[in-house]
Amino acid sequence: MKKEIVINRMFTGKYLKDNLGHEAINLFKTDDGRHFIYLNDVGTFGKEHVEKDGTLKIDKVLLVKPIGNNAVEVVALASGLTMCYDPTLSYHENVERQKNLGRSIRYSDGRIILAIYQGSAQQDINVTFEADKVLTPIKPICIEYCPRENQKTDVDHRIDYGNDVIPLKETKMGHDLKNYVVEDTEDYKLLKKITEDSSLWADTLQKVSKETITDELPTTYMDICGASYDENAFSNAFAHFMRKYPQLVSDWLEKASPEQPFYPRCYFQNPKLPIFSVYREWAGSSNDEKGRADILLQCTDMQWACAIENKLLATLSDIKYDKEGQVESSQLDKYREIMDSTFGDGAPALRFVMLLLPDYHPLLRHLDKTPYMRSADKSGRKLPAEGYATLSGYIVIKYSQVLAFLEKYAAKQPYKKDPNFLQFVDSIRRHSRPTDDGQYLDMMQRLRENL
């Protein structure tokens, strides 16, 4: 019999938008300390994975989450599997079997699994396997799928995971959320090596309760409106609060630019009179639809102008890398070109571009090693940007930096009495984490509510 290792992708798909994913149980023990595994996407597998004598060919399950184009990170390893779903039985026999299991498997001090999944688009299969062990990796492990024909593989994860990347030579990521890797193949040998190395794994999973699920995000109006990853919605919100609270922008620019005279500092002689204007989708004198800056800040005395590009999900277009893998040029150059063509050789003399990125954005892996931004004038000098990274010479602001700054104001007047401002601050938290665990965090929040 040829054994199989299943790669089971979790925390992905449209089903999770409005439902609690059944894979939520995979990372918790039951009340009596047992482990159950749900195999995506509907909990089933084919009878070809069972021998005629009823022996299960599937030896282990690698539970993984997506981390980018054509790559996943290993979350857990399940072994010692017993079938809860049996593909050799009829549909009705399996449904009856699942009902019995659904009433007997209990989490969080006696809550049956059927009750936990109430309110979701209920499926007939609740658990696929019982596992003797479910271990978690001691350090991150990445699996890189074999690219499909004409597919470009994003290799940014190689920078993050280094030698802990497992490059599969035959297994391709498909629409199905699981892959069966069969013994005697090169890919099986690669996976067997890591799954049998006890130094890579630890027994860390706990029983589930409302108290143990602490990794969750507050629900904000962005979530309610389905705009958690909407770049335009966030750009609109940034522009709105820049107009409403110009002093925030003043303080931000002052704190973000400690060295005179390279960065603009805003001073308010009349607090009611903002000394800069805020524009959305600014194209200057250009008619190029693709050359619009998300936000433009322009000082009213024409001393400076700043274009802000908010890249929540999308990457930069027209990127060119140098031999060291650093970004040499990109679409950001177009914004400076638009400012130059709009303002000419006159004021504002200082023109610069900021790139606003969530902390998990792959572009952060290509930051320049030297903390300088390109000159905004014709002199060719470089301007210091202490404490801030740069990309292709342009200053980069991470969402976590914005969050840390705004949190200080959220407890002060008038901000703490503005519910919209407080909601906006909370909405930034999702994008201030080192990895994009949005769907996982949403799932944990739904699970906590259902316990």
C-beta of residue 73 within 8 angstroms of C-beta of residue 142: yes
Residue 52, classed as helix, strand or coil, is coil
Q: Which residue has the higher pLDDT, 326 or 3?
A: 3
* pLDDT for the residue numbered 203: 92
Sign of CA dihedral 58, 64, 68, 71: negative
Span 118-132, average pLDDT: 76
Burial letters 301-333, b for 16+ CB under 10 A, else e: eebbbbbbbbbbeeebeebeeeeeeebeebebb
Q: In sequence order, which residues have a C-beta less than 8 Å from that of residue 116 and are 6 or more positions away? A: 20, 24, 25, 107, 108, 447, 450, 451
Give tens-digit pLDDT for 143-182.
Answer: 888 876 655 555 454 445 555 688 888 898 888 889 999 9
As given in the structure block, the two tokens for residue 361 are: 């954005």
Q: Which residue has the higher pLDDT, 70 or 350?
A: 70
**Residue 261 pLDDT > 80:** no
* Single-letter code of the amino acid located at 427: S
Q: What is the mean pLDDT of the chain?
A: 77
C-beta of residue 165 within 8 angstroms of C-beta of residue 153: no
Give the pLDDT band (50/70/90) at residue 104.
confident
C-beta of residue 402 within 8 angstroms of C-beta of residue 431: no
Give tens-digit pLDDT for 355-364.
Answer: 888 887 767 7
Give the pLDDT band (50/70/90) at residue 332.
low
Give the integer Cα–Cα distance in Å for 43 and 125: 6
* pLDDT for the residue numbered 191: 94
* pLDDT for the residue numbered 219: 82
Please tell me the chain's helix, strand, coil percentages from 3-state DSSP, rounded to the nearest 5.
30, 25, 45
CA angle 4–77–73, rounded 5-degree value: 100
Cα 240 to chain center, whole Å?
25
Roughly how many angstroms between the first and final C-alpha of the chain, as a whole number? 41
Give the pLDDT band (50/70/90) at residue 380.
very low
Give the integer Cα–Cα distance in Å for 23 and 39: 7
**Residue 383 pLDDT > 70:** no
Give the pLDDT band (50/70/90) at residue 326.
low
Span 69-96, average pLDDT: 90
**Residue 250 pLDDT > 80:** no
Q: In sequence order, which residues have a C-beta less than 8 Å from that of residue 20 and are 6 or more positions away? A: 116, 117, 119, 120, 443, 446, 447, 450
Give tens-digit pLDDT for 178-221.
Answer: 999 999 999 999 999 999 999 999 998 888 776 666 666 778 89
Q: In sequence order, which residues have a C-beta less than 8 Å from that of residue 384 and are 6 or more positions away? A: 259, 262, 371, 372
Span 88-94, average pLDDT: 91
Give the pLDDT band (50/70/90) at residue 312.
confident
Top mean pLDDT of 95-104, 182-191, 402-411 is at 182-191
Put simply, whether the predicted model's pTM sits higher than 0.75 gets the answer no
Give the pLDDT band (50/70/90) at residue 376.
very low
Q: Where are the domains of the chain?
A: 4-217, 223-429
Give the pLDDT band (50/70/90) at residue 424.
very high
* pLDDT for the residue numbered 262: 34
User: Which range, of 78-87, 156-165, 272-281, 435-444, averages the lowest pLDDT?
Assistant: 156-165
**Residue 2 pLDDT > 80:** yes
Q: Which residue has the higher pLDDT, 314 or 56?
A: 56
